[in-house]
């Protein structure tokens, strides 16, 4: 079970992402019962397509705690990790990933974004990473409805980092 503290953290991070003109994706990393890293997507404001919430959370955890901490870590994301992000979780040695909003839910909202499911990528790998989700959360999903229906936010497809600022 994901604690209310973590859920609230993810929702607040989604709000921060939207407030900085980024898509509402967020992630936290928990180790030894504590949040050691919390980030939101900044790909649009930075112009860097690699700055997804999960990627940034992993980088922050390594920078502040060292890479060994990830072996027993749990990454929790507002959304199903994309192939790049689940790959980073696998390669960094994260033991478990849990997400709330599925790629199918986001695709239904914005009209694009179908990709190989995180669980399928994890199952194809021999790392033993566990992928849990989706977990329904209406507030997290509503942030996607609001963001992707606003202006031209859904027009840039996978190159969302190139959208007008």
Query: Residues with catalytic annotation?
Result: 54
Rounded CA separation 43/22 (Å): 7
Rounded CA separation 140/136 (Å): 9
Rounded CA separation 17/38 (Å): 12
Edge-to-edge, what's the strand order for the sheet holding 26-31?
34-40, 26-31, 74-79, 96-101, 130-132
What are the C-alpha distances in Å from 157 to residues 15, 75, 111, 114, 130?
21, 25, 9, 10, 28
Contact at 8 Å (CB) between 98 and 133? yes
Contact at 8 Å (CB) between 10 and 78? yes
């Amino acid at each position: 079970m994901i604690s209310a503290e973590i859920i609230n953290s993810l929702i607040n991070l989604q709000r921060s992402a939207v407030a900085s003109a980024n898509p509402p994706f967020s992630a936290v990393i928990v180790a030894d019962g504590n949040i050691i890293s919390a980030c939101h997507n900044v790909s649009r404001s930075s112009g860097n397509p690699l700055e997804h919430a999960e990627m940034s959370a992993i980088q922050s955890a390594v920078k502040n705690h060292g890479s060994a901490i990830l072996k027993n870590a749990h990454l929790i994301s507002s959304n199903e990790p994309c192939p790049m992000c689940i790959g980073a979780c696998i390669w960094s040695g994260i033991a478990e990933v849990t997400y709330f909003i599925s790629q199918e839910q986001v695709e239904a909202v914005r009209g694009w974004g179908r990709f190989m499911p995180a669980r399928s990528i994890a199952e194809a790998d021999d790392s033993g990473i566990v992928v849990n989700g989706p977990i329904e959360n209406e507030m997290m999903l509503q942030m996607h409805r609001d963001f992707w229906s606003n202006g031209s936010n859904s027009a840039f497809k996978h190159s969302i980092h190139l959208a007008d600022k």
